[in-house]
Amino acid sequence: LKDQFDNLDKHTQWGIDFLEKYAKFVKERIEIEQNYAKQLRNLVKKYCPKRSPKDEEPRFTSCIAFFNILNELNDYAGQREVVAEEMGHRVYGELMRYSHDLKTERKMHLQEGRKAQQYLDMCWKQMDNSKKKFERECREAEKAQQSYERLDNDTNATKADVEKAKQQLNLRTHMADENKNEYAAQLQNFNGEQHKHYYIVIPQIYKQLQEMDERRTIKLSECYKGFADSERKVIPIISKCLEGMILAAKSVDEHRDSQLVIDCFKSGFEPPGDFPFEDYSQNIYRTISDGTISTPKQEGMRIDTKTTVGKAKGKLWLFGKKPKPQSPPLTPTSLYTSSTPNGSQYPIFSIEPVHYCMSDIKTGKPRIPSFRSLKRGYFCLQGPALEDFSHLPPEQRRKKLQQRIDELNRELQKETDQKDALIKMKDVYEKNPQMGDPSSLQPKLTETMSNMDRLRMEIHKNEAWLSEVEGKVAARSDRRHSSDINHLVTQGRESPEGSYTDDANQEVRGPPQQHSHPNEFDDEFEDDDPLPAIGHCKAIYPFDGHNEGTLAMKEGEILYIIEEDKGDGWTRARRHNGEEGYVPTSYIDVTLEKNSKGA
């Protein structure tokens, strides 16, 4: 390689270019990691919930697991940033610094090689010049010798010309000898410098270039390793992030989520009762017993108004208003009778009467059984939320009251701790007056005691409401349990009014009985007949009744009860003049009739 200086120059330049190329690769990888981390953080920020009140915090295990996964993903993005930062400092930064140093060192070595080559070229030129001068002087000496010999042999030449030629010969010979010595010295010097150049200077420069290139290769190897180590260092933390995601997935509990939904929406209301059987064959039985199918006489069909009201209201009509008392008569061809094993008869309708009944039902205006509760909730939403949460269903009301009691207890504990701290500070001030005035703490202590009394009163009031709700819920549970038992053990045929009898005639002529199930249909569409009174009440407190659907009352006023409290804190009442509306159950003293609905 002693004569491959240019090739080594090109090789070292290629090595530096390759180093910079790898540095560019690392830079682009760093940008990818940074962009990846940034996009992951933006994704987490997009799907992360905003700060919400405590009541709106997610409680479902699936939601909590998803938010935990988002947190782990955010940590994962942080580790990608760590990878990018580590690669930037340990790999890319080191490569750029080393590349700069490598260029400087290569430039220095190449300059030394060029200087050595220039010095050798200069020595060669000096030797070559002395050689040419020696050659020229030798030719001039030969010419002087030939001229001297010619004049010396010429008999016609004068002695002066011969002496002059001899002197010229001596001069040229002397100059040739001097140039000969100079050429010999330059030649020796050049040979020495050339030996030194090719055996000492150039090998040393090449060795330095070789060491430089080897260090470049070693640096690339170290950067390769550092590139991998930057990723390997965060693998344990990334593994923990992935394990956290797996644990979050395993923490999803479908049964707990279902229970949360139940607890969240459980109202505590009783489900609607069974629909009574409505016997449309009463007129048919009368006509059969009278031996005719014509319309019964008005004398036989006269019924007391009060009885009609109770009877009508005891029924739960499925669609719209109840059918008119006078229905179109059925044709004889469409009516048949059949006997049961015990001897009783029941009607069998042909296709035409069934089609007629279905048409009559379809033309009726349907009602939504639960619309009354929605309307009652609408009353409550029109005004401000009640302090005792009576506008909520019983179960939700109980939860809200329990939450409020817990919060009040925490506040009371804080006030108690503050009072104890003030008392201790006051004792310290009394023992050491120089530390402060004990009387300065008295206003704050008085205010704390007042707050404690206020909180105790609030707790007592909410506990009373809670006891009331729990008592109602327990009573409903017992009543529903007993109703279920009675429903299972009851035998016989149910009359349209809810009584049980074996005689079809008693179903028509007997006194109407109130049905045990509350009316669950919309009161927005009022019937012609008013609801029967099931008891009376006395107003304990006055109520203004500003909201729509409520009834204002004065303290001590007596009202009729036409509908019990369904667990929402409202009772439907009526004045003597017929005005109806809802009043707070906690504002009245209720007395129900023993044989009335809901007793």
* Angle at CA of residue 263, ends 398 and 63, nearest 5°: 130
How much is the pTM? 0.48
C-beta separation of 301 from 521 below 8 A: no
In the structure, what pLDDT confidence band is assigned to residue 362 with cuts at 50, 70 and 90? very low
pLDDT at 419 over 60: yes
Whether 529 shows a pLDDT value over 90: the answer reads no
Q: What is the number of other CB atoms lying within 10 angstroms of the CB of residue 45?
A: 10
Q: Answer with the one of 206, 230, 261 that is the final residue of a domain.
A: 261
467 and 540 housed in the same domain: no
> Does residue 124 belong to any structural domain of this protein?
yes
The range of the structural domain enclosing residue 400 comes to 394-475
Find the mean pLDDT for residues 438-444. 86
Per the model's pLDDT, the better-predicted residue between 227 and 332 turns out to be 227
Which of 450, 475, 500 corresponds to the end of one domain? 475
Judgement on whether residues 471 and 587 belong to the same structural domain of the protein: no
pLDDT, tens digit (0-9, with 9 covering 90-100), for 137-171: 899 888 888 888 888 888 787 888 888 888 888 89
- The CA-atom distances, in angstroms, between 400 and each of 381, 388, 394, 598 are 17, 9, 10, 27
> Does 99 share its domain with 18?
yes
Q: How does residue 568 score in pLDDT terms, banded at 50, 70 and 90?
A: confident
Could you list the beta-strand ranges (E) of 413-474.
Answer: none
pLDDT of 358 > 80? The answer is no
- Kindly state the average pLDDT of the residues 388-416: 85
Range among 81-90, 297-306, 321-330, 437-446 with highest mean pLDDT value: 81-90
Q: At 254, is the secondary structure helix, strand, or coil?
A: helix
Check pLDDT > 80 for residue 544: yes
Q: Any residues with CB less than 8 A from the CB of 103 and at least 6 apart, and which?
A: 16
Q: Is 293 inside any structural domain?
A: no
Decide: 139 and 115 in contact? Cβ < 8 Å.
Answer: no
The two structure tokens encoding residue 488:
């299972």
State the pLDDT at residue 503: 40
> How many CA atoms are closer than 13 Å to the CA of 3, on its beta-carbon side?
1
* Percent of the chain surpassing pLDDT 90: 31
Is 48 inside any structural domain?
A: yes
Question: Residue 184 has what pLDDT?
Answer: 92
CB 244 within 8 A of CB 72: yes
Same domain, yes or no, for 571 and 452? no
Q: Which of 41, 45, 49, 43 is nearest to 79 (CA)?
A: 41
| Cβ contact 155:120 at 8 Å | no
Residue range 391-409: mean pLDDT, rounded = 84
Of the ranges 100-114, 154-168, 248-262, which one carries the lowest mean pLDDT score? 154-168
**Which of 369-384 are b and which e, b meaning 16 or more Cβ less than 10 Å from the residue's Cβ?**
eebbbeebeebbeeee
Mean pLDDT over all residues of the chain?
Answer: 76
Query: Distance between CA 168 and CA 122 in Å, rounded?
Result: 34
- pLDDT of 493 reads 40
- β-partners of residue 349 are 335
Same domain as 464, residue 546 = no
User: Residue 374: inside a domain, yes or no?
Assistant: no
Encoded tokens for 253: 């509990």
- The two structure tokens encoding residue 547: 């909201």
- The gap from C-alpha 209 to its chain's centroid, in whole angstroms, comes to 60
pLDDT at 417 over 50: yes
**Together in a domain, 95 and 169:** yes
Residue 512 has a pLDDT of 37
Enclosing H/E stretch for 490: none
Average pLDDT of span 220-226: 94
Q: Residue 145 belongs to what H/E stretch?
A: helix 93-153
Instruction: Report the distance separating Cα 70 and Cα 49, nearest Å.
Output: 10
pLDDT of residue 5: 84
CA 296 to CA 280: how far, in whole Å?
14
Average pLDDT over residues 210-228: 94
Q: What are the tokens at 53?
A: 């009140």
572 phi, psi to nearest 5 deg: -90, 130
Q: What token pair was written down for 324?
A: 């008119």
* Cβ-proximal residues to 332 (8 Å cutoff; 6+ apart), any chain: 293
Q: What is the pLDDT of residue 51?
A: 66
Query: Is residue 250 domain-resident?
Result: yes
Instruction: Give the Å distances, CA to CA, from 254 to 57, 64, 251.
Output: 18, 12, 10
Q: Which range is most confident: 291-300, 512-521, 538-547?
A: 538-547
**Look-up of token digits 């109980």:** 398
CB atoms within 10 A of CB 452: 17
pLDDT at 380 over 70: no
Q: Are residues 450 and 547 in the same domain?
A: no
Name residues whose C-beta falls within 8 Å of residue 378's C-beta, 6 or more positions apart in sequence: 548, 549
Question: Whole-angstrom Cα distance, residue 16 to residue 11?
Answer: 9
Q: Are 149 and 166 in contact (CB under 8 A)?
A: no
Any domain includes 284? no
Same domain, 36 and 157: yes
Q: What's the rounded Cα separation, in Å, for the pair 479 and 485?
A: 10
Whether residues 220 and 116 fall in one domain: yes
239 backbone dihedrals φ, ψ, rounded to 5°: -65, -40
Residues 102 and 24 in one domain: yes
Residues 165 and 31 in one domain: yes
Mean pLDDT of 234-260: 93
* Per-residue burial over 12-27, b = 16 or more CB atoms within 10 Å of its CB, e = otherwise: beebbeebeebbeebb
Say which residue, 342 or 242, is predicted with more confidence. 242
Q: In this structure, what CATH number is given to the domain that contains residue 549?
A: 2.30.30.40
Structure tokens at 596: 């009335």
| Closest-CA residue to 118 (of 444, 98, 126, 367) | 126
Residue 528 has pLDDT above 60, yes or no: no
On the CB side of 339, CA atoms within 13 Å amount to: 3
Residue 236 belongs to domain with CATH number: 1.20.1270.60
SS3 537: strand
Rounded to the nearest 10°, the torsion over CA 168, 171, 177, 178 is -140
Q: Does the pLDDT value for residue 494 go beyond 80? A: no
Q: Tell me if residue 341 falls in helix, strand or coil.
A: coil
Mean pLDDT confidence for 212-230: 94
67 falls within a domain: yes
When pLDDT is averaged across residues 225-241 and rounded to a whole number, the result is 93
Measure the CA–CA gap between 314 and 305, rounded to whole angstroms. Answer: 14
List pLDDT tens digits, range 38-50.
Answer: 999 999 999 987 7
Share of the chain above pLDDT 70, in %: 70
Whether the per-residue pLDDT at 336 is higher than 50: the answer is: no
Q: Domain tally for the chain?
A: 3
Within the chain, how many helices (H) and strands (E) appear?
14, 9
Asked if the model's pLDDT at residue 218 lies above 70, the reply is yes
Which band of pLDDT confidence, cut at 50, 70 and 90, is reported for residue 83?
very high
Assess if residue 88 is contained within a domain.
yes
Lowest-pLDDT choice from 184-193, 521-530, 561-570: 521-530
Higher pLDDT, 77 or 503: 77
Torsion of CA 491, 497, 502, 508, to 10 degrees: 180
Tell me the average pLDDT across 483-492: 47
Residue that finishes a domain, picked among 261, 281, 309: 261
Mean pLDDT for the stretch of residues 452-467: 88
557, 416: one domain: no
Q: How far is CA 267 from the centre of its chain?
A: 28
